[in-house]
Amino acid sequence: MLSAALRIGFGTATLVAGGWAVRALQGTPSALGASPVEIDGVAKKSPNYKDGAFVNLEPASPVSLTRQEQFLLVREVIGGSASQHPRKDVPLVTPDPSLAAGDLAVTWYGHSSAVIEIDGYRVLADPVWSDRCSPSSLVGPRRMHPVPIPLADLPRLDAIAISHDHYDHLDMPTIRELVRTQSAPFLVPLGVAAHLDRWGVPPERIVELDWNESVDVAGLHFVATAARHFSGRGFARDGTLWASWVLTGAQRRVFYTGDSGYWDGYAEIGAKHGPFDVTMIQIGAYGPGWPDIHMTPEDGAAAHLDVRGDLLIPLHWCTFNLAIHSWAEPADRLWREAKARDIRLAIPRPGERVDVDDPPAVDGWWQAIA
Of the candidate ranges 68-72, 153-157, 176-180, 184-188, the one whose mean pLDDT is the lowest: 68-72
How far from each other are the two terminal CA atoms of the chain, in whole angstroms?
33
Tell me the average pLDDT across 235-260.
97
| Structural domain contains residue 66 | no
Q: What is the residue-averaged pLDDT of the chain?
A: 91
pLDDT for position 137: 84
Tell me the average pLDDT across 199-216.
98
Domain count, the chain: 1
Asked whether the predicted pLDDT for residue 20 surpasses 60, the reply is: no
Report the interhelical angle of 329-341 vs 297-306 (nearest 10°). 40
Query: Count of alpha carbons within 13 Å of 181, Cβ hemisphere only?
Result: 15
pLDDT for position 66: 67
Tell me the average pLDDT across 98-116.
97
Sequence-distant (≥ 6) Cβ neighbours of residue 45 within 8 angstroms: none
Closest CA to 210 of 252, 241, 179: 241
Enclosing domain of residue 189 = 84-368
Tell me the average pLDDT across 300-316.
99
Task: List, for residues 27-50, the tens digit of each pLDDT value.
Answer: 578 999 999 999 999 999 999 999
Handedness of CA 2, 4, 7, 12 (dihedral sign): negative
Asked whether the predicted pLDDT for residue 16 surpasses 80, the reply is: no
Tell me the average pLDDT across 160-173.
98
| Percent of the chain topping pLDDT 90 | 82
H or E element at residue 192? helix 192-198
Q: Evaluate whether 227 touches 243 at the Cβ level (below 8 Å).
A: yes
| Structural domain contains residue 57 | no
For the entire predicted model, the pTM comes to 0.92
CATH of the domain at 212: 3.60.15.10
Task: List, for residues 58-90, the tens digit of each pLDDT value.
Answer: 999 887 766 666 666 666 555 556 788 999 999
| Structural domain contains residue 62 | no
| Structural domain contains residue 275 | yes
Alpha carbon distance 364, 347 (integer Å) = 8
- State residue 113 phi and psi, 5-degree precision: -90, 125
| Percent of the chain topping pLDDT 70 | 88
| Structural domain contains residue 137 | yes
Q: Which amino acid is at 255?
A: F
| Structural domain contains residue 221 | yes
Task: List, for residues 318-334, the tens digit of each pLDDT value.
Answer: 999 999 899 999 999 99
Q: How far is CA 178 from CA 102, 152, 173, 202, 340, in A?
A: 22, 8, 9, 12, 41
| Structural domain contains residue 358 | yes
| Structural domain contains residue 31 | no
